[in-house]
Structure 1
Amino acid sequence: MSRAEAPGSALDTGTHPGAGGAEVRRTPRPLWSLGLLRNEIGTTFRRWRTLVLLAVLAAVPVLIGIAVKIETSGDGGGSGGGGGGGAAFVSQITNNGLFLVFTALAVTLPVFLPLAVGVVAGDAVAGEAHTGTLRYLLVAPAGRTKLLLVKYATTLTFCLVATLVVAASALVTGALLFPVGEVTLLSGTTVPFGEGLLRALAIAAVVALSLVGVAAIGLFVSTLTNSGIAAMATTVGLLIMVQILDTIPQLHAIQPYLFPHHWLSFADVLRDPVYWDRLQQNLGLQALYALVFGSAAWARFTTRDVTV
C-alpha cells in the first residue's frame, strides 16, 4: 500500500461516524493539506540524500574555523583568505567567533546552499513521477494546485533548515575555537553579544529568503521531466550558468536582474543603521522569480498528463 492510500494518512478523506454529511465534505480539505505537508516534510528529511546534504553543509563552517585557527596559530596573525563576501569577515573571526557565522553563510550562499536547494527542488515532482507515486498523490480531492504548493513549501522549509544548520554549526565552532563577546559591526559600531546574535539570526533569515528564487526554478524544472536526476542536473546547471553570467563585466546591464546578484546584500544587516536598499532589491527580485517560475510550474503541472 502506498503512502497515498494508507488509512488515517494525510490523504485519508473518508467519512467518520456521527458527523453530518455536509460537514464531512467541507472539513477534510484543510486537514488534508496540513497532513500532507507534515508527511512531505517528514519524507524529505528522512531521505539519506537530504541528511548527507545537511551534513556537508554543517561541515563547511567547521573546516573554515579549523583552517583559520591553524593559520593564525602558525603565523601569529593572518587576515585569512576567502573569496567573495567572506573575505570581509574572515579577519574578524579570531577576535570574535560569531563572525564565523557570517563567514560561513557568505561562503556557502554562492555555491553550497543553492546546490543543495537545487537538488531537493529538482527532485520534488520529477522524483515522484520516476518512482510512480505521483499518480497516487493526485487522487486526493485537494488537487494538483495544493500538491504543488505543498512541494514548494517543503522546499522552502529545507532552505530555512539548511541555512540554520550552517549558522548553528558556525556558532558552535566559533565559540569553541575563538573568543566571543561584543560585536564590532562593519560600520565600526560596537554592540552587545546578544544583539550580535539577533543580527546573525536576521542574516540567516535573509539568506534563507535569498534561496526562494532557486527553489521556484528547481520546482519548475521538476515539472518538465519524469527523471529526478535530469531535473536536479538541469537546476544545478542553470545555477552555475547564471553564476558565471553574473561575473562577466560585459553583461553588467542584465546582472541586476539575475537572481544571485544581490545575495551578499545580507552584509548590510551588520551596519548601523542597517542599509535596506540592497536588501529590498534582493528580496523583491526573489519574490519576482518565485512568482514567474511558480506560475510556470503551476501551468505545467496542472495540465500535465501523468501516466506513471
Structure 2
Amino acid sequence: MSQAEAAGVLRRTSPLWTFGLLRSELVTTFRRWRTLALLAVLAAVPVLVGIAVKIETGDGSGGRGGGGGPAFIAQITNNGLFLVFTALAATLPFFLPMAIGVIAGDAIAGEANSGTLRYLLVAPAGRTRLLLTKYATTIAFCLIATLVVAVSALAVGALLFPLGDLTTISGTRISFAEGLGRALLIALVVAASLIGVAALGLFISTLTGSGIAAMATTVGLLITVQIMDQIPQLHALQPYFFSHYWLSFADLMRDPVYWHDLIRNLGLQALYAAVFGSAAWARFTAKDITA
C-alpha cells in the first residue's frame, strides 16, 4: 500500500474525519433557506395559539381545568407555561413530523438529485459513514425543531400570561422550576418520538433519486398512518403505528408520572429506527450510485 493510500485509509477511519463530516452536514442543513423556513413556521405556531387564547379570554374569563394533550389549552390563561405543552401537542401530530419528513426525505435523494452524492462518497466518506451522518443530522433537526417550538411557546406564554406554580393533571401543585424541568423533559420525549419518522424518511430517501418524491412520499405515509390510527376497525394494529403513543408525553404532567405509555412509545420508536435504519443501510450500501 502506498503512502497516499495509507493516508486515505487513516482519514476514512479517523474520528476527526467523522466529526468534520457531521459538522459540515449540520452547517449545510441549518443554513438552507428551506430549513430556516420550516423552523420559522414551527416557531409561529405557539405565537398564533397564544394570541388566539389571549383574544378569546380578553374579557377576563379564566381557563377551566383540563386534562392531558390538547386540553392543556384550558390552563394557559392560568399559567403561561402550559402554552409549551399545548404547542407541542398541536405541532406533534403534523407540523413537527412533516418538517422531519422533509429533512429526512431529502437526505440522500436530494444529494443524488443535485449530483453531489457520488462526490460525497469519493470525498472519502464511505456509504455507511455518510448514511449515519445523514441520520444524525436528521436527529439533530428533530431536537432543534422541538426546542424551537418549546422556547417560542415559553417566550409567548411569559409575555401574554402569568407564570408561577402550576397544577398537574393529577391535581397536585408543583413549583414553577419543577414545571420548567418537566417542560424540558417533555420536549426531549417529543424529539425522541420522531426518530421513527426520521428513519422511515431516510429509508425512502435511499429508494429514489428525487428529493421532492422522497419528501412527498414520507409526508404522504405520515398522513396515511395517522388516518389509519383513527379508524376503530384497525384497533388491533394501531399500537404498532409509530404515531399511536405520541401524545403520551402528557403523562409526564401527572403526579406520579405514568410511565407505561411513555416507555411503549420510546420502545416503538427505537424499533422503527432499527428496522428502517437497517433497511436504509442495506439499500444504500448495495445501490448503484450514478449521480
Report TM bin, short chain.
over 0.9
> What aligned pairs does 1:18-57 form with structure 2 within 5 A after superposition?
25-26=9-10, 29-57=14-42
Aligned partner letter, 2:200: I
- In structure 2, relative to structure 1, the CA distance for the partners of 1:273 and 1:253 (3 Å cut) is same
Aligned to 2:175: 192
Residue of structure 2 in register with 1:61 after alignment = 46
Q: State the one-letter code of the partner of 1:72.
A: T
Taking the aligned partners of 1:162 and 1:297, their CA distance within structure 2 comes to: 23
Alpha-carbon offset, residue 32 of structure 1: 1.1
Deviation per residue, 1:4-55 (Å, 9 max, x gap): xxxxxxxxxx97xxxxx97885366211110000000000000000000000
2:119 partner letter: Y
Residue 225 of structure 1 aligns to a residue whose secondary structure is coil
Matched residue type, 2:41 = V
Q: What are the Cα deviations for residues 194-224 of structure 1, in whole angstroms up to 9, with x where unaligned?
A: 0100000000000000000000000000000
TM-score, L = length of structure 1 = 0.90
- Aligned pair count reads 288
Q: Which has the higher contact order (CA 8 A, sep 6+)?
A: 2
Q: Which residue of 2 aligns with 1:92?
A: 75
Compare the two structures and name the one with the higher helix fraction. Answer: 2
Match of 1:268 among 235, 247, 251: 251
2:200–2:273 contact (8 Å) kept in structure 1: yes
The gaps in structure 2 that reach 5 residues or longer are none
The answer for the alignment partner of 2:113 in structure 1 is 130
Equivalent residue number for residue 266 of structure 2: 283
CA distance in 2, matches of 1:95, 1:218: 39
TM superposition outliers: structure 1 runs of 4+ over 6 Å: 21-24
Whole-Å separation in 2 of the counterparts to 1:187 and 1:79: 15
Aligned to 2:236: 253
Segments of structure 1 that go 5 or more residues without pairing to the other structure are 1-13, 16-20
CA RMSD between the two structures = 2.0
Taking structure 2 as the reference length, what is the TM-score of the superposition? 0.95
* Structure 2 counterpart of 1:5: none
For 2:218, the equivalent position in structure 1 comes to 235
- Answer yes or no: is the 8 Å Cα contact 1:71–1:80 preserved in 2: no
Matches of 1:25 and 1:247 in 2, distance apart?
52
Measured in 1, the distance between the counterparts of 2:36 and 2:8 equals 38
- 1:174 pairs with one of 157, 163, 175: 157
1:207-246 equivalences in 2 (<5 Å): 207-246=190-229
How far did residue 70 of structure 1 move?
A: 0.3
Note closer, same or farther for the CA distance 1:275–1:174 as it changes in structure 2 (3 Å cut): same
